[in-house]
């Protein structure tokens, strides 16, 4: 079953009133199958974050449609979404625990009790020891992990992670990958954007490939890389189609 169906969305931005609008999303269509890990890949500026913002209704497409669940209203559907933004905002004067409480309260969830759930997610992201430290004293890796904890606090069924591994050292990446591998054992659906194709290859059985505002592939990862040994090689070959050939 598909939990989201995106059909032909287009989006333009007008950076200033005297400038012409630029079309950032030209034609993006894909489905999100339930219970799968889906990698959203494409170069810088391809439109990945814009697509995610459209899914979350932070912004609205100029054309095209996004269907949630079995024609569910977005207000209902969004209760089941967890989200880690590309550039999360961390209130530095809060402790890890207070930060989680803020997001728990914002979610309005009535499941479980906060202390119990916070202990669970802190354990998952290996931050139990730092729960009473202020976020200003967290390292980049710790902040990224508390960001993931925040995205999980209200028991989401659908998790959207915009570059969860960016800026982390190899150990930090491994830790986040391990967290995601643990999540894989549950029935959660994860959409994650990343430039780290090795990680996408390891974690995501499904792929959405966006290039210059168009979706060129939506399907299984093994199918995308079937003629290549790695996702990097397959992606390099895909990108090759768009490179200017100066020899002609």
Ligand X SMILES: Nc1ncnc2c1ncn2[C@@H]1O[C@H](COP(=O)(O)OP(=O)(O)OP(=O)(O)O)[C@@H](O)[C@H]1O
| Site residues (vs ligand X, CB under 6 A) | 13, 15, 24, 42, 44-50, 86
In angstroms, give the least distance from the CB of 93 to Mg ion: 28
Check if the beta carbon of residue 101 is closer than 8 Å to that of residue 114. yes
Measured CA distances, 175 to 56, 124, 164, 188, 203 (Å): 27, 10, 11, 19, 13
Q: Is 49 in the site for Mg ion (CB under 5 A)?
A: yes
Q: How far is the CB of 169 from Mg ion (least distance, A)?
A: 21
46 binds, among ligand X, Mg ion, none (CB under 5 to 8 A by kind): ligand X
**Residues 20, 74: Cα–Cα separation, whole Å:** 31
42 binds, among Mg ion, ligand X, none (CB under 5 to 8 A by kind): ligand X
Around Cβ 120, how many Cβ atoms within 10 Å? 14
Distance CA 123, CA 106 (A): 21
Tell me if 151 contacts Mg ion by CB under 5 A: no
Nearest approach in angstroms of CB 236 to ligand X is 17
Q: What is the Cα–Cα distance from 42 to 212, expressed in whole angstroms?
A: 8
Choose one: 27-35, 84-92, 164-172, 203-211; the region binding Mg ion (CB under 5 A): 84-92
Q: CA-CA distances (angstroms) from residue 238 to 37, 144, 219?
A: 21, 31, 15
- When asked if residue 218 is in the footprint of Mg ion (CB under 5 A), the reply is no
In angstroms, give the least distance from the CB of 96 to ligand X.
26
Query: Tokens in use for 70?
Result: 């079995």
How near is the Cβ of 193 to Mg ion at its closest, in Å? 6
Q: Rank residues 127 and 148 by Cβ distance to Mg ion and give the closer one.
A: 148
The residue among 44 and 229 lying less far from ligand X, judged by its C-beta, is: 44
Give dist(CA 55, CA 74) in Å, integer: 10
Nearest residue (CB) to Mg ion, 48 versus 103: 48
Residue 66, classified by CB atoms within 10 Å of its CB into exposed (0-12), middle (13-18) or buried (19+), is middle
Q: Which residues bind Mg ion (CB under 5 A)?
A: 48-49, 86
């Amino acid at each position: 079953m598909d939990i989201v169906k995106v059909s032909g969305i287009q989006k333009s931005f007008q950076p200033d009133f005297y400038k012409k609008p630029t079309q950032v999303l030209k034609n993006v269509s894909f489905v999100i199958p339930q219970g799968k890990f889906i990698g959203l890949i494409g170069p810088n500026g391809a439109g990945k974050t814009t697509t995610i913002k459209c899914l979350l209704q932070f912004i609205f497409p100029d054309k095209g449609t996004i269907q949630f669940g079995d024609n569910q209203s977005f207000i209902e559907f969004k209760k089941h979404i967890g989200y880690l933004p590309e550039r999360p905002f961390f209130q530095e004067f809060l402790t890890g625990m207070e930060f989680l409480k803020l997001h728990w309260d914002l979610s309005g969830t009535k499941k479980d009790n906060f202390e119990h759930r916070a202990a669970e997610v802190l354990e998952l992201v290996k931050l139990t020891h730092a729960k009473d430290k202020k976020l200003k004293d967290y390292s980049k890796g710790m902040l990224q992990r508390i960001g993931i904890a925040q995205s999980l606090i209200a028991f989401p069924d659908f998790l959207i992670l915009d570059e969860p591994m960016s800026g982390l050292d190899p150990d930090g990446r491994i830790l986040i990958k391990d967290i995601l591998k643990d999540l894989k054992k549950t029935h959660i659906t994860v959409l994650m954007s990343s430039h780290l194709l090795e990680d996408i290859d390891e974690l995501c059985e499904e792929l959405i490939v966006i290039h210059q505002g168009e979706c060129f592939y939506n399907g299984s990862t093994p199918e995308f890389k079937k003629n290549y040994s790695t996702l990097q090689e397959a992606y390099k070959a895909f990108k090759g189609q768009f490179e200017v050939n100066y020899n002609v």
